[in-house]
């Protein structure tokens, strides 16, 4: 007889989703979070695609502490002193499950923790799980000061995945597979945000940047509008940081001081600063996801997709928590928590879901980024040079457009541009 049917390690979106679904189905569930409350240690740029949570809690947007619905998308290529920006505005799609929102994790995670508790889950905070209990090769619970046994243990402990490593499920990651992100939340009045970012009362902007922010290395910057604050930060792979000349905090300062960014932040007050790892290796860094009595979900499983124009980890965390909960319910009905029943159900649910389908579809993208440094230094300069040739009128006789374009392409080379374009499109 176990102390609990399920113990979940980690109160991020993956663990909380699993806890909510299981508790609702009457499964005796304990979630252990090392932070003082759910969300205390969780960092996100701050935009959640709603589809997976909408499936778990239909109509959640009506009650969750969301910031703004994203209606404007911007992508900028930055050099040291210029910005070339694509700007897409659309009030749609807007239907539940097709929209996305900026969120602040502290409030959002606590809201989901409240939902899980209301459903009957026990959540204990301020306690770190140090180890797993093993019996006959199967996981039988956790050691967190005291020993607590469970039929199933869900490893939702985030990107470091120390427990999955202890089980030998996860291999050591290479510096190209992990990025570090630093983020600030900067307070500004709602009216100022709406003016500067041209958005209506409930609407918001998601803005991604490449080039200068990561010092030309694999990485970039993000800026999301909240109701009365901005979430902004810089991300760079460990490999890029090791090869670069600047530290990550300095990259953030340089980004905030960029002439195209600084005016957006003017008068703002930094109220939060955080740093966190991001799994960026794609499907190749996904470990074995189960063993007898245990499943791995969310960032601990490497479920994160950064495609340059979208950054997704939260919807995958929720989706994998959903798959894990359904697999546990199936194993419970069968009365078999061994790898054969529990693990196979989880793997099948993941394979049938958007998670493994998307992770597999974009398998080549992390390698493309790694092998194409021109995206981060080369193309931003080329785009800026071309814009200057198009828009600067200085009284010199003008040149035909094709000559202007050809001159701008000289830096990277037309052939490189064509080949990179083809490889990029194929990797997406
Ligand atoms: C800078 C940055 C920007 C990002 N931007 C976005 C974005 O805009 N959109 C998006 O969708 N995703 C984004 N992500 C990714 C997203 O934040 C993650 O994919 C997501 O939070 C993963 O959720 P999780 O529940 O798996 O892990 P986490 O949210 O990391 O939760 C893990 C939890 O486990 C707890 N824990 C760890 N070890 C133990 C232990 N031993 N005992 C008890 N508790 C433990 C931690 O305290 C934590 O609460 C971003 C990430 C970063 C770092």
pLDDT greater at residue 42 or residue 135 = 135
Range of weakest confidence among 246-250, 255-259, 260-264, 374-378: 374-378
Residue with tokens 């399920």: 6
Q: Which atom of ligand 1 is nearest to the CA of 303?
A: 19
Range of weakest confidence among 15-19, 96-100, 146-150, 172-176: 172-176
The per-residue pLDDT of the chain, averaged, comes to 93
Residues 6+ apart with CB under 8 A from 66: 101, 102, 103, 108
Residue 93 binned pLDDT confidence (cut-offs 50, 70, 90) = low
pLDDT at 94 over 80: no
Q: What is the pLDDT of residue 408?
A: 84
Instruction: Find, among 264, 267, 242, the residue nearest to 255 by Cα.
Output: 264
Determine the distance separating the centroid of ligand 1 and the alpha carbon of 400, expressed in angstroms.
Answer: 51
Question: Which residue's CA is the nearest one to ligand 1's atom 25?
Answer: 12
pLDDT at 242 over 80: yes
Determine the distance separating the centroid of ligand 1 and the alpha carbon of 42, expressed in angstroms.
Answer: 5
Q: Is the CB of 321 under 6 A from ligand 1?
A: no
Q: Is the sign of the CA dihedral 354, 360, 366, 371 positive or negative?
A: negative
Q: What is the pLDDT of residue 14?
A: 98
pTM over 0.85: yes
Q: Which atom of ligand 1 is nearest to the CA of 39?
A: 49
Q: What is the pLDDT of residue 355?
A: 97
Q: What is the pLDDT of residue 91?
A: 84
- 44-68 pLDDT, tens digit each: 779 999 999 999 999 999 999 999 9
Q: What one-character-per-residue DSSP string does 54-76 give?
A: HHHSTTGGGTS----EEEEEEEE
Rounded mean pLDDT of 369-381?
Answer: 84
Question: Which residue's CA is the nearest one to ligand 1's atom 41?
Answer: 129
- 307-357 pLDDT, tens digit each: 888 889 999 999 999 999 999 999 999 999 999 999 999 999 999 999 999
Determine the distance separating the centroid of ligand 1 and the alpha carbon of 299, expressed in angstroms.
Answer: 6
Q: What is the pLDDT of residue 373?
A: 81
Q: How far apart are CA 60 and CA 12, in angstroms?
A: 17
Rounded mean pLDDT of 92-113?
Answer: 90
Residues 6+ apart with CB under 8 A from 74: 85, 86, 87, 88, 205, 206, 207, 208
pLDDT at 72 over 80: yes
Q: Helix count (H) and strand count (E) of the chain?
A: 15, 19
Angle in degrees, 0-180, between the axes of helices 314-334 and 354-361, rounded to the nearest 10: 130
Residue 285 binned pLDDT confidence (cut-offs 50, 70, 90) = confident
Q: What is the largest CA-CA distance in the chain?
A: 87
Mutate to test the pocket of ligand 1, among 157, 213, 275 (most ligand atoms within 8 A of CB): 157
Question: Which residue's CA is the nearest one to ligand 1's atom 19?
Answer: 313
pLDDT at 415 over 90: no
Range of weakest confidence among 257-266, 295-304, 395-404: 395-404
Rounded mean pLDDT of 13-32?
Answer: 98
Determine the distance separating the centroid of ligand 1 and the alpha carbon of 43, expressed in angstroms.
Answer: 6
Q: Is the CB of 48 under 6 A from ligand 1?
A: yes
Determine the distance separating the centroid of ligand 1 and the alpha carbon of 12, expressed in angstroms.
Answer: 6
pLDDT at 202 over 80: yes
Question: Which residue's CA is the nearest one to ligand 1's atom 27?
Answer: 158
């Amino acid at each position: 007889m176990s102390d609990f049917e399920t113990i979940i390690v980690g109160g991020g979106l993956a663990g909380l989703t699993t806890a909510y679904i299981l508790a609702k189905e009457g499964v005796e569930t304990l979630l252990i979070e090392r932070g003082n409350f759910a969300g205390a240690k969780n960092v996100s740029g701050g935009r959640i695609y709603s589809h997976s949570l909408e499936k778990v809690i239909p109509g959640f947007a009506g009650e969750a502490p969301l910031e703004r619905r994203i209606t404007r998308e911007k992508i900028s290529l930055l050099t040291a002193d210029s910005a070339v920006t694509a700007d897409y505005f659309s009030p749609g799609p807007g239907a539940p499950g097709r929209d996305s929102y900026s969120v602040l994790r502290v409030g959002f995670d606590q809201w989901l923790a409240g939902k899980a508790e209301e459903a009957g889950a026990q959540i204990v905070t301020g306690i770190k799980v140090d180890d797993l209990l093993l019996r006959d090769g199967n996981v039988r619970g956790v050691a967190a000061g005291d020993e607590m046994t469970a039929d199933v243990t869900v490893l939702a402990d985030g990107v470091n995945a120390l427990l999955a490593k202890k089980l030998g499920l996860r291999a050591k990651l290479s510096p190209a597979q992990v990025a570090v992100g630093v983020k600030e939340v900067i307070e500004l009045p709602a009216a100022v945000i709406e003016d500067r970012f041209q958005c209506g009362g409930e609407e918001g902007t998601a803005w991604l940047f490449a080039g200068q922010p990561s010092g030309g290395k694999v990485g970039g910057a993000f800026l999301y509008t909240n109701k009365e604050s901005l979430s902004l930060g810089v991300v760079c792979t460990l490999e890029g940081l090791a090869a670069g000349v600047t530290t990550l905090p300095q990259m953030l300062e340089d980004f905030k001081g960029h002439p195209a960014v600084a005016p957006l932040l003017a008068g703002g007050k930094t109220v939060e600063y955080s740093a966190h790892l991001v799994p960026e290796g794609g499907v190749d860094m996904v470990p074995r996801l189960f063993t007898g009595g245990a499943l791995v979900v969310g960032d601990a499983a490497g479920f994160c997709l950064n495609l340059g124009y979208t950054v997704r980890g939260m919807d995958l965390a929720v989706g994998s928590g959903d798959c894990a909960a359904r697999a546990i319910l199936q194993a419970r009905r069968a009365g078999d928590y061994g790898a054969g029943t529990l693990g196979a159900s989880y793997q099948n649910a993941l394979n049938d879901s958007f998670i493994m389908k998307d992770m597999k579809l974009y398998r080549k993208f992390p390698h493309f980024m790694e092998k194409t440094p021109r995206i981060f230094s080369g193309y931003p300069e080329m785009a800026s040079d071309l814009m200057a040739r198009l828009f600067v009128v200085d009284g010199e006789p003008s040149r035909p457009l094709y000559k202007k374009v050809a001159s701008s392409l000289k830096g990277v080379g037309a052939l490189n541009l064509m080949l990179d374009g083809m490889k990029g499109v194929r990797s997406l």
